[in-house]
Copies of this chain bind each other. A is one copy, B any other.
Amino acid sequence: MKLLHHPSRDDLMLPTVLYALSDPIRLQIVSQIHQGGEQACKNFEVSIAKSTFSQHARMLREAGVTHTRVVGTHRLLSLRTEDLEARFPGLLHAVLSSYESNLQEHLSK
């Protein structure tokens, strides 16, 4: 896995971004990055197989929600906050604050 593809800012698509954010597990991942900053896959507290996690991480990256930086054997995930803000002002903030202020609602899912 040499090349990790990241769409350019101009190529971000609203439906794709919304779709990426419409899954409870991916929302959890995004929120955890938001709260804890850039971090490796290993770190995430999600109850799924690691291959499944990898797929979710890929979808977030290909939608342009996250950036993946390779450091040694780690992939460090961060949010593309500025790109998202430039293309979809207020969106990420609205999603994250709704999510984080209603966490109990999502635990059941």
Contacts and interface: CB of A to CB of B under 8 A. Distances in A.
Interface of A: 13-16, 18-19, 21-24, 27, 87-91, 93-95, 97-99, 102, 105-106, 109
Secondary structure class of chain A's binding surface, majority of residues: helix
Contacts of A15: 22-24, 27, 106, 109
21 contacts: A13-B105, A13-B109, A14-B27, A14-B95, A14-B99, A14-B106, A15-B22, A15-B23, A15-B27, A16-B22, A18-B18, A18-B22, A19-B19, A19-B22, A21-B22, A87-B102, A88-B98, A89-B94, A89-B97, A90-B97, A94-B94
* Count of chain copies: 2
A22 B27 CA distance: 14
A109 to B, nearest CB: 7
